[in-house]
Amino acid sequence: MKISLEQVRKVATLARLALPEEELHTLTGQMDAILSYVDKLDELDVADIVPTAHAVPVENALRADEECPSIGLDKALANAPTAVNGCFRVPRVIE
Amino acid sequence: MLSKYETVIGLEVHVQLTTATKIFCGCSTRFGAPPNSQTCPVCLALPGALPVLNGKAVDFAILAGLATHCRIAPRSIFARKNYFYPDLPKGYQISQYELPICEHGHLDISLEGGATKRIGITRIHMEEDAGKSMHGETPETSASSFVDLNRAGTPLLEIVSEPDMRSPEEAIAYLKKLHQIVVYLGVCDGNLEQGSFRCDANVSVRPRGQEAFGTRAEIKNINSFRFIKQAIEYEVERQIELVENGEKVVQETRLFDPATGVTRSMRGKEDAHDYRYFPDPDLVPLVVDEAWIARMREQMPELPEARRARFVRDYGIPEYDAEVLTAERALADYYDACVKLHGGGKVCANWVMGEVIRGLNEQGIGIAECPVRPQMLAGMLQRIDDGTISGKIAKTVFDEMWRSGRDADTIIAEKGLKQVTDTGAIEAIIDEILAANPGQVEEYRAGKEKVFGFFVGQVMKASKGKANPAAVNDLLKKKLAGG
Ligand SMILES: [Zn+2]
C-alpha cells in the first residue's frame, strides 16, 4: 500500500472534509492506485535533473510598485453571505 | 535556580515592507483605510485571478539580505502554505519554503560591558500577510468574527535567526539592532504598534552543559520590546519549573497576555501545523543575478555603524554623542544636515542633543515633526558665530523658532535681540552701574575680585542680555582699574 487509511483520514481533516467511513476506504484504494501509477517515474534516472518548480521556462514576471484602483466595497463584498460595516461576517473563530 | 539552566532563544521577525502596493497586486498598502476598501480580485482570492510579484518588494528583500550579511539566492521560488482561517481568503498563504531569497547571514550585537556577539540569521523569505479578524464584543455580535482584507497581500519579510541567544537581554539587543537596520534601509517604517515589526520567540531551557536543545515553545506575535522581554522571562521560569517537577515541556504555540504577564497555550492549533508546502504554480521562479545585487549595493544607504564612525571621524564628536545621534535614522539625518549647513560638528551635536531632543520629548513628538528645521538651527548658530547674538540670547531665539516656525534672522530683527557691541552704549550702562554701587566698587578695588561677577550680571541685566559679553568684560576691567 502506498497510502494508509489513517493518512487519508488526516488529509481529509486538514482539508476540512467530513467523509463517511466507507468513502474513506474507497478513496484510500483510489489514491493508492494513483500513487502506484506515479511510481512509474521511478524507472527513470533523474539524478542529474534539477527539480522544476514551474512547467514553462519563464523567470521574473515582475510588476512595478504602482497603485491600481481597488474594485470598491460593493463589489468586494458582493459574494459575502453576510457583511457588517464593510467587513465579511463569519462564525466566530476564537473562544 | 536560573543558573542551573541555560536559556535558548531563536527569533522569527515579520517585517512589513514600505512598498506603496501589495506584494502580488496593485492595491494600496496604506494603513487605516475603511475595511475592505483596498482589495481586488487577487487579494480577495476571486476565481481566476493571478498574482504578479512586486519588483520593489524583491529590491527590499535583497537590501535586507545584504545588510544582514546574507547570501542572496540566485534562484528562489514561491510556495503555498496551506491552512484555513477566515482572514486567509485563498486557503493558503504565498510564502517561500525550500528556496528562500536570503540565507546564512548574521548580525553582531553589543552586550553589556562592550563585548559583541554574533547572532546567526538562518534565512529571510518573502511572503504575503493575512487579513485582519476582529471578534464581536456585544451580545448581538458575540457569535461572529469580522474580516477586513485590506492587509491581505501586504508584503512581509520573515527573518529567522539561529537559536543563538541565551538571555532575554540578548534577544532584545538583537531585535533592536534588526529594527534599526530595516528602518535605516527604509524597507520598513518600524511601527511596532501598527504591527510593522512583529516577533515570534522560540524559547527552550536545558541544563547547563547539555548540548541537546530542550523542547521549545513558540510565543506568538509580541508587539513591543518590553513585552518580548516579559514573555521570555515568564516562559523560562515556567519551563524550569516544569523540568524541576519532573514534568515535560510540550512543543506548542503560546500566546503572551500583556495584561497578566503570562503565556497561555493555544491548544487545538497543533494539528493544523501540517502546512503541506508545495511550489506555487501561479508564480514563476525568481532569478536574482549579480547585476541586480550590484544595483542594490549601490542604493544601500549608510548603516548605523558606518554613520557612527563617520560622525566621530569627520565631525569630531565623542563616541557617546555619535551613539545617541545615530540611534534613529531620522535624527541622524537631521544632525547630518545641520553640520553640512553650519560646519560645527560639536556645537550642532550639543544643540541637537540638548534643546532639540528636550523639546521633542516635552511634546512627545518625533524628529520628523520638529518645528525647527536644520536650516533654521544652522542659521541661528551662524548668528552666534558672527556675534549678532550671544549664546544666552540664542536660547530665546531657539524657543521662539520652535513656537512660531520662523527663522532666526526674522526673530532677531523683530524682537530687537541683536547684541549690543557698540562700546559707547555699553560704557554708558557700566558707568550707571558703577555709580549706583559705590560700596561694591570699593570692595573690588580693595582686592575682592569676586565682585567682578556681580558687575557683569548687572550690566547684562540692564542690557536685557544683549550686551556682548566679551566687550562687557573688557570695558568693566578698564573702568574698575582706571577709577
Ligand atoms: Zn489587491
**Domain coordinates of chain A in residue numbers?**
5-43
Contacts of A13 in chain B (CB under 8 A): 271
Whose CA is closest to B396, among B373, B380, B385? B380
Question: Do the chains contact at A63 and B52, CB–CB below 8 Å?
Answer: yes
The pLDDT score that the predictor gives to residue B309 is: 94
The pLDDT assigned to B457 comes to 87
pLDDT of residue B482: 72
According to the model, what pLDDT value does residue A30 have?
96
- Residue B322 C-alpha cell reads as 555619535
* Residues B53, B67: Cα–Cα separation, whole Å: 22
Alpha carbon distance B298, B288 (integer Å): 15
Strand order in the sheet with B5-16: B71-72, B102-110, B116-128, B155-161, B5-16, B197-207, B217-222, B252-257, B262-265
Q: At B97, phi and psi to the nearest 5?
A: -130, -80
HSE-CB for B388 with a 13 A CA cutoff: 17
CA of B56 relative to ligand 1 center, distance in Å: 16
Cβ distance of A88 and B281 shorter than 8 Å: no
In which band, very low, low, confident or very high, does the pLDDT at B377 lie, cut at 50, 70 and 90?
very high
- The answer on pLDDT for B421 being more than 80 is no
Separation CA B86–CA A91 (nearest Å): 9
Total-model pTM: 0.82
C-alpha cell of residue B351: 544643540
Please state whether B232 falls in left (phi above 0), alpha (psi between -120 and 50) or beta: alpha
How confident is the prediction for chain A on average, in pLDDT? 91
Amino acid (one-letter) located at B424? G
- Banded pLDDT at B267 (limits 50, 70, 90): low
B399-410 pLDDT tens trace: 999 999 998 888
pLDDT tier, B321 (very low <50, low <70, confident <90, very high otherwise): very high
Q: Per residue in B145-171, pLDDT tens?
A: 999 999 999 999 999 999 999 999 999
User: Is A8 or B390 the better-scoring residue by pLDDT?
Assistant: A8
Three-state secondary structure call for residue B288: coil
**Which among B36, B84, B283 has CB closest to A16?**
B84
Show me where the domains of chain B are located. Answer: 2-293, 302-415, 423-482
Q: Does B84 touch chain A (CB under 8 A)?
A: yes
Q: Which of A64-73, B36-45, B259-268, B295-304 has the lowest mean pLDDT?
A: B259-268
pLDDT in tens, B468-480: 888 888 888 888 8
Q: Residue B2's pLDDT is what?
A: 55
Percent of chain B with pLDDT over 70: 98
**All residues at 6 or more sequence positions from B282 whose CB lies less than 8 Å from its CB, including other chains:** B50, B51
Give pLDDT, residue B22. Answer: 98
CB B55 within 8 A of CB B26: no
- Cα A70 to middle of ligand 1, angstroms: 7
**What is the arithmetic mean of pLDDT over B198-208?**
93
Measured between beta carbons, which residues in chain A are less than 8 angstroms from residue B91?
none
Q: B159 in contact with A at a CB cutoff of 8 Å?
A: no
**pLDDT score of B88:** 95
User: What per-residue confidence (pLDDT) applies to B270?
Assistant: 53
CATH 1.10.20 fits A5-43, yes or no: yes
The reported pLDDT for the residue numbered B303 is: 92
| Maximum mean pLDDT: which of B339-343, B365-369, B460-464, B476-480 | B339-343
Q: What are phi and psi of B335, to 5 degrees?
A: -60, -45
In whole angstroms, give the CA distance from residue B154 to residue B29.
6
Separation of B144 CA from ligand 1 center, angstroms?
Answer: 25
Minimal Cα–Cα distance from B239 to chain A, Å?
26
B62 touches chain A (CB under 8 A): no
User: What's the fold here for domain B423-482?
Assistant: Arc Repressor Mutant, subunit A (1.10.10)
Separation CA B53–CA B31 (nearest Å): 21
- The partner residue sitting opposite A65, judged by closest CB among B20, B77, B85, is B20
Quick check: B186 contacting A, CB < 8 Å? Answer: no
Distance B44 CA to ligand 1 centre (A): 7
| For residue B307, pLDDT beyond 90 | yes
C-alpha B380/C-alpha B469 separation (Å) is: 18
- Residues of A within 8 A of B84 (CB-CB) are 16
Chain A residues with beta carbon closer than 8 angstroms to that of B133: 93
Contacts of B298 (CB under 8 A, 6+ apart): none
Which site among B99, B146, B257, B274 would you substitute to test the A interface, given the most A Cβ atoms closer than 10 Å to its Cβ? B146
Partners of A93 on chain B (C-beta within 8 Å) are 85-86, 133, 135, 145
- pLDDT band of residue A57 (cuts 50, 70, 90) is confident
Res B102: pLDDT: 97
Decide if B274 and A93 are in contact by the 8 Å CB cutoff: no
Chain B, residues 271-290, CB within 8 A of chain A, namely 271-272, 274, 276, 279, 281, 283-287
**Ligand 1 centre and the CA of B209: distance in Å?**
52
First to last CA, chain B: 79
**DSSP 3-state of B181:** helix
Do the chains contact at B145 and A56, CB–CB below 8 Å? Answer: no
pLDDT band of A15, cuts 50, 70, 90: confident
- Per the CB < 8 Å rule, is B41 touching A71? yes
B223 touches A: beta carbon within 8 Å: no
| Per-residue model confidence (pLDDT) at position B389 | 85
CA–CA separation, B19 and B55 (whole Å): 10
Q: What are the b/e assignments for B276-297, b being 16+ CB within 10 Å?
A: eeebbebbbbbebeeebeeebe
What average pLDDT does this structure show over B120-142?
93
* Contact between B20 and A73 using a beta-carbon 8 Å cutoff: no
ipTM, two decimals: 0.90
Yes or no, beta carbons of B284 and A59 under 8 Å apart:
yes
Residue B269, pLDDT above cutoff 60: no
Section B387-404 average pLDDT: 88
What pLDDT is stored for residue A88 in this prediction?
95
Q: Is B260 exposed, middle or buried (0-12, 13-18, 19+ CB in 10 A)?
A: exposed
Give me the total of CB pairs closer than 8 Å, taking one residue from chain A and one from chain B: 132
Calculate how far, in angstroms, residue B14's C-alpha sits from the geometric centre of ligand 1: 20
| Chain A residues with beta carbon closer than 8 angstroms to that of B141 | 84
How far, in Å, from the CA of B81 to the mean position of ligand 1?
Answer: 19
Does B25 touch chain A if contact means CB atoms closer than 8 Å? yes
Chain B residues near residue A76 by CB distance under 8 angstroms: 36-37, 39, 44, 149
Please state, in angstroms and rounded to a whole number, the distance separating the CA atoms of residues B321 and B151. Answer: 39
